[in-house]
Structure 1
Amino acid sequence: MIVVAGEALIDLVVTAEGQRAVPGGSPANVAVTLARLDQPVRLLARLGTDEYGRQVAEHLRTNGVDLGWAVRAEEPTSVAVATLDASGQASYEFRLAGAADWQWTPQELPELVGSPATALHTGSLALALAPGAQVLEDLLARERHRDGLTLSIDLNLRPSIVTNRPAEQERVRRQVPLAHLVKASDEDLAWLYPDRSVADVMAEWHAAGVCCAVVTRGGEGAWLLAPDGTLHEQPAVRTTVVDTVGAGDSFTGGLLAALADLDALGDRPVDRLTAVTAPQWAAVLRQAATVAALTCGRRGADPPTRAEVETLLTAES
């Protein structure tokens, strides 16, 4: 079972035709992607008891996400206003003050020792916004020390919310070495390190103890720095873009699902990831890119099923 920790919120999607409220949040989108790819997944989230919170919970359950560790919170549900331009590119405005997602306490976290968890994935605002970010960071630190499961982080930075670049650089410097797998977008890194190359940042993460560093590059595809220092490049899978909402999250879900299929997630995570061969890394990247492309071809964060992914991969081979 893969555990995903972090925000589950409402995306208020605004287009020229009007607006609609749909469940979202980067970690929640990753969890839904994993479930649709037939991976057992449990979401560690704080879900509001308001109408939006009930809508989010129903969406997650309907898609097969296990909510056994979700906390029912009295605080309101976070709202992200996603405005789509004519090309389908999303820009975001967030309504987060006092919301449920960021109020974690240590007592609300489950005991992962002895659980069926093989991996823990988190990131985005959940690792950035106080007070809950520190609680989740402490959880990552404990699990890295225990060495009992694979740890994954997606930076998914939000400069419109967390605007202090030096503070974000320090946070990322502190949190990245806690993970075995780190994913970011080239836009994340361009904002975080405007004077550094992507290759330089990936090499720094590798030296800090990250086994696998992945950077998505939009229409240019993705790069993956494997444990042996080999750089793998995956071109973007061609698609007609409807919008990009949830594309990065579905890429992450596709990546983790492919690694799970290889039995590359679990205890002794460094050994497991090191054992992945070059052809297998290429296949992992190809699946992740395919999942993201299929999501871009639909409206909103609507990741594909395993059957849909396998059909497209078969057609391409």
Structure 2
Amino acid sequence: MRDIVLGDVTVTRVMEFTGPVGIRPDEFFPGSSGESWEKHTDWLAPDFLDPDTGICLAALQTWVLRSEGRTILVDTGAGNHKERPYSPVWSHLRTDFLGNLARAGVRPEDVDLVINTHLHVDHVGWNTYLDDGSWVPTFPNATYLLPRADFDFWNPANGHPSRLGRDNQNVFEDSVTPVHDAGLALLWEGSHRIDANLTLESAPGHTPGSSVLSLASGSDRALFVGDLLHSPFQFASPDTNSCFCEDPAEAAATRRRLLGRAADTRTLVLPAHLGGHGGAEITREGDGFAVRSWAPFSRV
């Protein structure tokens, strides 16, 4: 399935990329051991770890939500034609993302809201597209919801050092500034109620402005967690951070808090980068969590 219905909300999974990202687990998740990954290989392979090469696998996907008559995108991937000299895996892509979006029944002009859970290179790329040499908003009728803390942190004028180094180079200029200058950006902080079904919540650690989108409709619950985790390995080992987390201690604490809430309320967890079924319902197990069931999307 590409679509699922949660209460009064339809959720559609639209892919931009899935495959190897050229990084081994011990590089992607510093401090994790090869033995710990081998312990979980039986369920991490083949969707999240290539057992032959030992390379991590990831997806870039946008969640399309239809709620209270509006069309909402959660994260916009890496985008096409972007100059990313220090993130070569996302540089000068030529994907058919807009075609995939159209096949899901969404034209750019149909989008009412764009949510960037944070402002990393692989979450804001399709905010804009290249039009006659200029970067212009892809979704001209949308309000772009940007976390203020990330807007301030990633603004080059503010000169904040980052663990990401130069990996986010050009991102603010080509994927954030154009929507802000067009008057389409809404900078929010703390929490932001979208409608009766959807609420944005601050979830800092991975970046200062990282956020999650909470869905509660009828008896159904889902949490769109962005980069709260990059691999389901972090269900089993929730204190393990990626190498891209700006504040590792805060990232781990936020992850434990939100995964605990999801486990206790049987909330579907939908990260930005999981291939396979795209997400999971989890349960507490020992000092971490385990997959109770995978999300009901078709495997990719």
Which structure shows the higher helix fraction?
1
Q: Give the TM-score normalised by the residue count of structure 2.
A: 0.34
Which structure shows the higher strand fraction?
2
